[in-house]
Structure 1
Amino acid sequence: MSPEAEPHVPLLPEKKSSARPASVSGAVFNVSTTIIGAGIMSIPATLKVLGAVPAFVLIMVIAWLADVSVEFLLRFTHSGEATTYAGLMKESFGRVGSVAVQVCVMITNLGCLIIYLIIIGDVLSGNQPDGSVHLGILQEWFGVHWWNSREFALLFILVFVMLPLVLLRRVESLRFSSAVSVLLAVVFVAISSVLAVCALLEGKAKSPRLLPDLENRSSFFNLFTAVPVIVTAFTFHFNVHPIGSELARPSHMIAAVRISLVLCASIYFAIGIFGYLLFGDSIMADILINFDRDSDTAIGSLLNDTVRLSYALHLMLVFPLLNFSLRANIDEFLFQKKPLLATDTPRFLWLTLVLLVISYLAAIAIPDIWYFFQFVGSTSAVCLAFIFPGAIVLRDIHGISTVKDRVVAGVMIGLAAITSTVAILTNIYSLTGSRS
């Protein structure tokens, strides 16, 4: 196949490789790491907006739609010659399609990397949402100093933790960090569940709202702002092809995706319930901020600190995985005729450093992850997760779509477009209303 027919993704392994095929368990870890990311942080806040029952239903529906959309992508991939998401869209819609995927991956991944740094900054140096002060771990341990400020703490993490990881030139080098990151996420949920159970036994737990509070028309439209948050939490489609290319059979990727979706949906709903039991309506868009509360016992304080540090470390390990896809897509978009990025050290280094600097500056300037989740989920993430896969099915250049496929694809695109539009308009109204 000619280079013009298929965009090449730098640093990714070739589809046909002599290397030993990856295991399904390894694929489950990589997919789960991509899914969980920072999405788990804002899931409890969606229960605050939606109520427990609608939130559970929405998580299940979006997880199911994500499974359907991935099945669409893989089926059309193996019916044609494409080996990447961008290549798949190029087969159906030409150069415009491949560029659309690359731009959406850039927006989604860069947004997520900024969100990761915001959360890490919240954990280490605290935040002050709506005027209320939430101290970070470093400030609680050592007091407020210049060296544990948000700006300095994030700079230290970027230079001494992030930089060595993002300088790795092969995605295979990140497989162990992905496994550790999933384990840390499980530790986070486990400790949260223990704290919630203790609160229940002590009679301090908050009663979760089962249904949304619809006091007025604006409350109803605010429900739509939770949808993009959950969509972003289930957007992993940009890593389907690189992870699937390492497996022996396409069916193995479908199985890995389904296992990961069940696992992550369970984790999401569990942390949503446990978080709401602990903090009720006082829950923040980033639940880690809530864990700065004082505890009556030394063990309680230790658990609060452990739950925050475990997830901050989790995000540090997820960061290079998403940075890998982001860097590859930017390089493919800007330097199509250049040598492979892994073989061009100057280009690799300056592109890596530029992405780190942009992420750092944005994380310092933006204090609230809720708006970032809504923006990304209402635009690029919903395109990658639902609109593009649905459009490929409706285009059907291989003639393999069934009537059921076309109906599901049409409904998927329609729901995604309507909810995203309402969410964007609601956010604009909220922002303009708060400033007037």
Structure 2
Amino acid sequence: MTTEGLPSENLSAVSSLARPQLGYPVDERTPLLPSKKQDLIEEPDDGYHQASFTSAVFNLSTTIVGAGIMALPATMKVLGLPLGLLTIVICGILTDKSIEFLIRFSQPCKARSYGGLMADSFGKPGRTLTQLFIIINNVGVLIVYLIIIGDVLSGARGSDAAHTGLFVEWAGGPTWWNGRAFVLAATMLCILLPLACFRHVDSLKHSSALSVGLAVVFVVITSVVAIKKLFDGTIDAPRLLPDVYDQSSFWRLFTVVPVMVTAYICHHNLHPIANEMKGSSEAEIHRVSRASILLCSMIYVATALFGYLLFGEKTASDILSNFDTDLNVPYSKLLCGIIRISYAIHIMLVFPLLNFSLRLNLDALLFPKAKALAEDTRRFSILTAVIIASVFIGSTLVPNIWVAFEFTGATATVCLGFIFPGLIALRDNSNIATSRDKWLALIMVVVAVISSVSAITTNIFDLFATVDSDQPKNLHGIYSYLSVRR
């Protein structure tokens, strides 16, 4: 049998057929003909493979550093500084391992998406459930991002706090052009829609680099101000241990876990980014994920440490709201303005990356047999328009949707980040998992399930409980901040 002239991807198939004749062992589980499960796994390829290592790192890092960064200082108030920082590091390590599971187990079955990998392990139900969870998670986060942009630029009013928007401050009061509806519509049409229309995630590499840079700007300003006040002796001693005084306060510690998972979630964009890389080998993709997680972990540790040191027990669930006040340092108003506008721009640049994976999964769910989305202009345009319109309507007409988001952080996000990767390793369809992998996967799933159930239960009780206004009812990142909006 000769293999001359055959495409490289067919060589492995020919080799496997020739093995019995050559005396090599054969994996009896490998089918000689395509199966229905293989049809679920195989997905169209638009042929674009030009992304570099650097662009992949920036895109994955931007996916990670979203709104969750602003909730991390508040977790220090719940866990105490040493345990809080340790939790960030441990969560980063576990995230790295969960992504490694996705990378390793995608190679044998040639899965090009998270849903395709779940289809290999659990068939069509696994694929459909993964796609639905990604859609739920991303739609919710995109609506929240748009609400944040509206709050920063136009302001927000609530029963407990008022936040004056930057445009309102600059204009000296409300006008037609700084009204919330106009600002959101202009932002969607002029910034978010054009960014959402790129066919390939690699096209967002420059905006992603800027987004990461803006996150670093926030860290630098916060750390410099905190260090100055530390030397001035105007910073109170930080909490070193969690404040556990009864059973309820103990279980509330677990509500921090969904915050950490939300802060690190990027699993839904791993495959789209990897698919566009030049020679996307398992080792190269893992290098990208590890570099991204290391970069983001450094940003997270600095944000949590200096943000909590700066505001102490007054740290809000969303630290951005702390920058509405005087920092008692020179150029305080200017620094607060820079932080708020840079964060708003950062969110705008994260938006298209989440939109990208949302659009791919929505398309795969609705049109599983269609050709690659990037090659179908009509389908691409319709899905993009539907998503943008839905997110805009959700952000303007459903302002109290934060209640639902509190629970998606402890369900869909935890499943995508920890539970599903752990179950894939435990299922081990490709028979490549070591005993260490399975033990780690089991621990990952058990801890995630316990934390998720505890967080959901605590949130349900908190909805009907009266607590001290200085203590947030929950810590699901930016969503807690949105609870003060009318």
Does TM, scored on the shorter chain, surpass 0.5? yes
Structure 2 matches for 1:251-290, cutoff 5 A? 251-290=283-322
Partner SS state of residue 409, structure 2: helix
2:380 to 340, 344, 348: 348
1:233 counterpart = 2:267: no
In structure 2, the partner of 1:101 is: 130
Cα distance in 2, alignment partners of residues 153 and 162 from structure 1? 12
Partner SS state of residue 127, structure 1: strand
Worse overlay, 133-142 or 388-397: 133-142
In structure 1, the partner of 2:479 is: none
In structure 2, the partner of 1:111 is: 140
Cα distance in 2, alignment partners of residues 129 and 217 from structure 1? 31
Give the AA of the match of 2:102.
L
> Please, what is the CA RMSD of the aligned residues?
2.4
In structure 2, the partner of 1:200 is: 230
Deviation of 1:174 after TM superposition, in Å, equals 1.0
Cα distance in 2, alignment partners of residues 45 and 354 from structure 1? 35
Give the AA of the match of 1:54.
L
1:418 counterpart = 2:455: no
2:191 to 158, 161, 182: 161
Structure 2 matches for 1:31-430, cutoff 5 A? 31-147=60-176, 148-245=178-275, 246-248=277-279, 249-294=281-326, 299-364=331-396, 374-430=406-462
Q: Deviations over 1:71-96 (max 9, x none)?
A: 11111111223222111111111111
Contact between 2:43 and 2:112, CA under 8 Å: does it hold in 1?
Answer: no
Cα distance in 2, alignment partners of residues 262 and 151 from structure 1? 38
Contact between 1:40 and 1:268, CA under 8 Å: does it hold in 2?
Answer: yes
Deviation of 1:365 after TM superposition, in Å, equals 5.5
Unaligned runs of 5+ in 1: none
Worse overlay, 324-333 or 39-48: 39-48
Deviation of 1:296 after TM superposition, in Å, equals 5.5
Deviation of 1:129 after TM superposition, in Å, equals 4.9
Cα distance in 2, alignment partners of residues 423 and 42 from structure 1? 16
Deviation of 1:240 after TM superposition, in Å, equals 1.4
Q: 1:370 to 1:392 in 2, by over 3 A?
A: same
Q: 1:298 to 1:13 in 2, by over 3 A?
A: farther
Q: 1:261 to 1:78 in 2, by over 3 A?
A: same
Cα distance in 1, alignment partners of residues 403 and 253 from structure 2? 14
Give the AA of the match of 2:127.
S
Cα distance in 2, alignment partners of residues 361 and 206 from structure 1? 43
Cα distance in 1, alignment partners of residues 291 and 375 from structure 2? 36
> Whose helix proportion is higher, 1 or 2?
1
Provide the TM-score with structure 2 as the length reference. Answer: 0.82
Q: Deviations over 1:270-300 (max 9, x none)?
A: 1112111222222222221211113557722
Deviation of 1:313 after TM superposition, in Å, equals 0.5
In structure 1, the partner of 2:57 is: 28
Cα distance in 1, alignment partners of residues 101 and 328 from structure 2? 52
Contact between 1:126 and 1:289, CA under 8 Å: does it hold in 2?
Answer: no
In structure 1, the partner of 2:14 is: none
Larger radius of gyration: 2
1:5 counterpart = 2:39: yes
How many residue pairs get aligned? The number is 430
Cα distance in 2, alignment partners of residues 8 and 154 from structure 1? 39
Deviation of 1:68 after TM superposition, in Å, equals 0.9
Identical-residue share of aligned pairs (%): 47
Contact between 2:40 and 2:124, CA under 8 Å: does it hold in 1?
Answer: no
Worse overlay, 127-136 or 322-331: 127-136
Q: Deviations over 1:237-271 (max 9, x none)?
A: 11111222314222111122112212211211211
Q: 1:335 to 1:187 in 2, by over 3 A?
A: same
Partner SS state of residue 134, structure 1: strand
Deviation of 1:367 after TM superposition, in Å, equals 5.9
Deviation of 1:99 after TM superposition, in Å, equals 0.7
Cα distance in 1, alignment partners of residues 230 and 428 from structure 2? 53
Give the AA of the match of 1:89.
M
Q: 1:202 to 1:57 in 2, by over 3 A?
A: same
Provide the TM-score with structure 1 as the length reference. Answer: 0.91
Q: 1:400 to 1:8 in 2, by over 3 A?
A: closer
Cα distance in 1, alignment partners of residues 399 and 297 from structure 2? 27
Unaligned runs of 5+ in 2: 1-33, 468-486
Give the AA of the match of 2:255.
T
Q: 1:48 to 1:153 in 2, by over 3 A?
A: farther
Cα distance in 2, alignment partners of residues 58 and 410 from structure 1? 19
